[in-house]
Chain A
């Protein structure tokens, strides 16, 4: 079946640093990738939608300069949390889909900012 790999699975870093999270589709071409954020005991909140080769579309209230998304190839999208602060600590999940396919989710990245 379709596999989406997300890396790293857990990262701890100091406040003010930038963190990059990778999302790869391993056995299919992901024309669209989605980035979600999940707060403890809460649902997933869509942050942005990215289509390969074009700029990401951000949801209302999500700072595009804070959360940089790049979808440079059909198998890789990255989310960079710039100048991270403790309030950015969360569980970030990506999903990917190919043409006429449902979304397949990665295992998530737990980000802890000290």
Chain B
């Protein structure tokens, strides 16, 4: 079946540190890949996405590259801010199919000033 595995948190960083959150997937076929962010008490917001191999999604200083050879979609940011504190979810779906999103378990990030 289709699944997403992401690194377990929590992750605690100081402001301006480099961030990596690992995400790997298992899927039949070639899914679209997403990173969502959930701020405390809120729903999910799409952070970035990539729809095919070697695509790089980027937004608000975050980026992730769709690596088919390693079935990975790691999230990175060069310099985190306190306002980046949130839970980050990696997800996949198949466009044109049922379009259900399959989520990883989420990684909680805390950035300290």
Nearest CB in chain A to that of B46: its residue: A102
| Number of residues on chain A facing chain B (CB within 8 A) | 20
If A44-B89, A49-B98, A97-B99 touch, does A106 touch B106 (CB 8 Å cutoff)?
Answer: no
- Interface pair A93/B103, CB less than 8 Å apart: no
Task: Say if the beta carbon of B105 comes within 8 Å of chain A.
Answer: yes
- A100 CA to B65 CA, complexed, in Å: 23
**Candidates B43, B100, B105; contact of A93 at CB < 8 Å:** B43
Closest Cβ of chain B to A50, distance in Å, is 12
If A43-B89, A43-B106, A44-B89 touch, does A103 touch B101 (CB 8 Å cutoff)?
Answer: yes
- Interface pair B99/A105, CB less than 8 Å apart: no
If A44-B89, A49-B98, A97-B99 touch, does A106 touch B43 (CB 8 Å cutoff)?
Answer: yes
Tell me the dominant secondary structure on chain A's binding face: strand
Nearest CB in chain A to that of B49: its residue: A102
Residues of A within 8 A of B89 (CB): 43-44
Residues of B within 8 A of A32 (CB): 99
Residues of B within 8 A of A49 (CB): 98, 100
A-B contact pairs, 24 of them (CB 8 A): A6-B43, A34-B101, A43-B89, A43-B104, A44-B89, A44-B101, A46-B100, A46-B101, A49-B100, A95-B44, A95-B101, A102-B46, A102-B49, A103-B46, A103-B99, A103-B101, A104-B46, A105-B36, A105-B43, A105-B44, A106-B43, A107-B42, A108-B41, A108-B42
